[in-house]
Structure 1
Amino acid sequence: MIGTALTGFGTGLSLIVAIGAQNAFVLRQGIRREHVLAVAALCAAADAALIVAGVLGIGTVVERAPLALDVLRWGGVVFLLGYAALALRRAARPHHLRVNGQGAGAGLRAALVTAAALTFLNPHVYLDTVLLLGSIANQHGSSGRWVFAAGAVTASVLWFFGLAYGARTLAPVFERPAAWRVLDGLIAVVMVAIALGLAAG
């Protein structure tokens, strides 16, 4: 069972560590120390829910609903391009690091809505968690699949909280406006690249 859990952990970690829109947002929130716990918890909970859905066999439903995936895909493209535009605007007007609620940071609701949109408007999230992890988990039998899922969920929790709180170590670097210009520029590039990838199918 430990081997199954470790397999789930490794597989789950390999799918979420890649640089993406969601991770870029969590990283930025962590550096700014804005709503870190709430954002990390939302991302981890969303991953857990999708993994459980995959284990329960929801993947077959998703697989048979290509229209729904298309709607999500184009919604994601629009959202990502909009977020990229905001990042470019921030890069054009870099600022000093503001932490612990100082300065004009985003409110909790706005941060959670953004995190949720970056999570659920990305069709790859469903392909990775619901379809891929779900199908692999179900290869481990009726009891083993939940052990595999527990390993994958653990990977998500450790990754998102580690990324969010580990980002604080970069705070001294981001005391300089130029560092924010670079980060926001990179975020814009990542968002546009993902949007183009989604648009290309």
Structure 2
Amino acid sequence: MSTAIAAGLLTGLSLIVAIGAQNAFVLRQGIAREHVGPVVAICALSDAVLIVGGVTGIGSVVTHAGWVLEVVRWLGVAFLAAYGVLSLARARRPATLEAARSGAASRGAAIGRAVALTYLNPHVYLDTVLLLGSIANQHGPADRWWFAGGAAVGSVLWFTGLGYGAGLGQRLLATPRAWQVLDVLIGVTMLAIALSLAVS
């Protein structure tokens, strides 16, 4: 049991720690201290749902319905490209950076972006549903759920630490110039991921 939990925790962390669109968004929300709780909850809960789906065999459905991933891929490309362009546009208007820090975006908008960045990324299904699901099922009928639990805990720890820990860096981003740099980095990251999805 303990071995399965530890394996799930480490495997889950190894898959979600890599810099991606979702992590970049959580990081920005954390630094801005804007709707951090709901965003972290959406990301962690979504991971848990997808992990359970992988353990229960939904991965086989995803494997045999390649067109679903194809649709998700192009929706993800469109969304990430639009988000990247908006981030770069935001960086060109320093006045809007102050508004971003003061919570200009609504809670619903933040939650909507978190949901889109989670479910419009086909890598989420490949990593969380297929990969984690298949590894979990190698641990046997009982231990696979302990593995899944460990992976879900890893997701909670990561997003909580990223979201709330990022707020500690707010002093480093006290100037409009620093926010411009952050938005440029996020914009470039989003566009790079969109491009990689488009050509993959």
User: TM-score, normalising length from structure 2?
Assistant: 0.96
Structure-2 separation of matches of 1:135 and 1:75: 26
Deviations 1:130-149 (A, max 9, x none): 00000000000000100100
Residue 66 of structure 2: aligned partner: 66
Residue 5 of structure 2: aligned partner: 5
| Residue 199 of structure 1 pairs with residue 183 of structure 2 | no
Q: CA RMSD in A?
A: 1.1
Q: Map of 1:47-196 to 2, 5 A cutoff?
A: 47-94=47-94, 95-96=97-98, 99=101, 102=102, 105-196=104-195
Task: Check whether the contact 1:97–1:176 (CA below 8 A) recurs between aligned residues.
Answer: no
Structure-2 separation of matches of 1:6 and 1:172: 35
Deviations 1:40-86 (A, max 9, x none): 00000000000000000000000001101000000000000000011
Structure-1 separation of matches of 2:129 and 2:81: 25
Residue identity (%): 60
Deviations 1:133-183 (A, max 9, x none): 000000000001001001000000000011000011111011111111111
Structure-2 separation of matches of 1:183 and 1:87: 9
Give 1 or 2: higher helix fraction. 2
Q: Which moved more, 1:107-116 or 1:88-97?
A: 88-97
Structure-1 separation of matches of 2:7 and 2:142: 15
Q: How much has 1:96 moved relative to structure 2?
A: 3.6
SS in 2 for 1:105: coil
Change (3 A) 1:72 1:98: closer
Q: How much has 1:189 moved relative to structure 2?
A: 0.9
Q: How much has 1:3 moved relative to structure 2?
A: 1.3
- Regions of 4+ moved over 2 Å: 94-99
Q: How much has 1:97 moved relative to structure 2?
A: 7.5
Structure 2: segments with no counterpart, 5+ residues: none
